[in-house]
Amino acid sequence: MSLKSSYSNLDLVARVDSSLQMRMKNYYYFMIDGFPKPFGYVHTSTISRVSWDEHWAIDAEHRFLTLNGGDTFAERTWRMEETSRPNLKVNSSSVFGRWCDELFPLYDDDGQHILDMDGAGVDAFGIVNYTCHLIAYVKTSEGTKYWVPRRAKTKLSHPNMLDNTVGGSLASGEKPVDYIYTRANITACGALSYSMTQTDDGRPGCQHQVQYLYEMEMLTGIVLTPNDGEAQDFQLNTLENVVCASRKSEFKLNCAMTWMAFLIRHGHVNAENESNFMEISARLHRRHDLFIVKWTDKRGMD
């Protein structure tokens, strides 16, 4: 991905959100026996690198990758783990990344909990991932400032880059209210969603992500400090500095989506000052309606 010295609002969104429909020849459909629709998209490079056991069927003609024989939640979850663990490299990058020891849910269209998988496989299988992101701010005599952390140098994905104040994926069984502790000064601000054609560490893949958004006003005497090794430090920034850093690509990629939603929500970006306002708004709220594309010839699709 080429880098520019400065990105427009649409550039920032387009670097993250991408329509997968015209790229589907690069992906297999992650199917589960007994369910008619795909649960995710698996890049062809993943198909060739993974040792698929007898629980999987690969249909190269139609590009179906199907998990077979699991009739219960427990069986499907076990078979997914049996596939993921052997394809990992301890303490180094692999097709599935590092083992997280944290399970994430897979749902069907009716909200049925189909299986759990370790976070290492979420991007590889291209399933919908649910996350929470919070922007914390403080009102000072110099105006409102925002707490922005810098990611640790040891992070596998996006080391040293700026991040949202709080952010992370919802593990199986968690709800947004569990992740963002209920407080009187925390405000729920809706959600955004997007599709991305690479994994969190920059390899070909698929991310279907939903962000539940929150804001939190903090007291002036509170100073945020890292306590889990995820961040180097936290700095207070003006909104102008945040926007400037975002345009210079100093933030983790998907944080640009969080901040763009913030700027729209507070009227800083609107139809009067942004000619691409409608496209930006639409791409902040992509519907994760997974589909199967039927190609008729080399020129197009049905």
Q: How far apart are CA 54 and CA 1, in angstroms?
A: 37
Q: Are 113 and 105 in contact (CB under 8 A)?
A: yes
Mean pLDDT, residues 266-285 = 96
Residue ranges and CATH numbers for the domains of the chain are: 9-18+128-283 (3.90.79.10), 21-125 (3.30.750.160)
Nearest to 289 by CA among 231, 210, 213, 179: 210
Does the pLDDT value for residue 100 go beyond 90? Answer: no
Q: How far apart are CA 140 and CA 134, in angstroms?
A: 19
pLDDT tens for 220-237 read 999 999 888 889 999 999
Does the pLDDT value for residue 87 go beyond 60? Answer: yes
Q: What pLDDT score was predicted for residue 25?
A: 83
Q: How far apart are CA 152 and CA 133, in angstroms?
A: 18
Q: Which residue has the higher pLDDT, 198 or 1?
A: 198
Query: Is the pTM higher than 0.85?
Result: yes
Residues 6+ away with beta carbon under 8 Å from 148: 162, 163, 165, 234, 235, 236, 237, 242, 245
290 pLDDT band, cuts 50/70/90, is confident
Most confident of 48-52, 148-152, 173-177, 193-197: 148-152
